[in-house]
Amino acid sequence: MPGNHEPASNRSFYLSLAGSTLKAAVVIALLVGGIVVMANAFENQGGGKAIGTSSPSSSPSSSPSPSPSKPPKQPPPPQLQGTKMFVYNTTTQSGLAAATANRLVKRFGVVVPGLGSKSAYVGDASARDTTAVYYRDSAYKESAQWLAEHFFPQGTTVGKLPPGTNVPKDALIVVYLGNDFIA
């Protein structure tokens, strides 16, 4: 009996085809969504063995990190806590040096004497495009580098404070905030 298995009309055939296609798309979307959820759920858990591996491996995982621009939080180096700092604003943004000094004090425990008053440790300086962190003594080089890498913009200059710089003698780290700091 030819024709018994054919749909009554072309219209019902296309509706049937569209319904099947839609159902297949929903199933595929659910499978992909489930895989993504499971991959994210187990991405940051260490110590476990991935399914399908035969032996533990000491090599680092090749999974991408969630945000390469933000390094993991690390404690400040020992010399940063209690270090006397001077912060200069070389931009046109008013109050930037004081606001930055307050953040440094709260976040890292540095000391900026006289903060909140007319202080010799917070002020303005000649315009600069890039931020610079200087250390007075080589014992503070690591701390200055750490601050440049973890607090200030990428490309911040780090160096020894040039001789003859008009900075209070007890300031061990000096920061010149450039236009890149407000960008």
Report yes or no on 92 lying in a domain: yes
Question: Do both 94 and 166 map to the same domain?
Answer: yes
pLDDT of residue 144 exceeding 80: yes
Report yes or no on 76 lying in a domain: no
Report yes or no on 61 lying in a domain: no
CA–chain centroid gap for 28, Å, is 35
pLDDT digits (tens, 9 = 90+) for 23-55: 988 888 888 777 766 666 554 444 443 443 444
Question: Do both 97 and 178 map to the same domain?
Answer: yes
Q: Token digits for 70?
A: 């933000």
Report yes or no on 68 lying in a domain: no
Report yes or no on 25 lying in a domain: yes
Question: Do both 34 and 106 map to the same domain?
Answer: no
- 99 Cβ contact list (under 8 Å, min separation 6): none
Residue 73 CB neighbours (<10 A): 6
CATH of the domain at 141: 3.30.70
Question: Do both 36 and 94 map to the same domain?
Answer: no
Supply the Cα-derived Rg of the chain in whole angstroms. Answer: 30
Number of independent structural domains in the chain: 2
Sign of CA dihedral 169, 143, 132, 160: positive
Question: Do both 89 and 36 map to the same domain?
Answer: no
pLDDT digits (tens, 9 = 90+) for 17-27: 888 888 988 88
Report yes or no on 26 lying in a domain: yes
- The region that residue 95 occupies, defined by phi over 0 for left and psi between -120 and 50 for alpha, beta otherwise, is left
Give me the mean pLDDT over the 172-179 stretch: 93
pTM of the model: 0.57
Cα–Cα distance for residue pair 91/175, rounded to 1 Å: 13
Quick one: 97 exposed, middle or buried, by C-beta within 10 A (0-12, 13-18, 19+)? buried
Domain hosting 165: range is 85-182
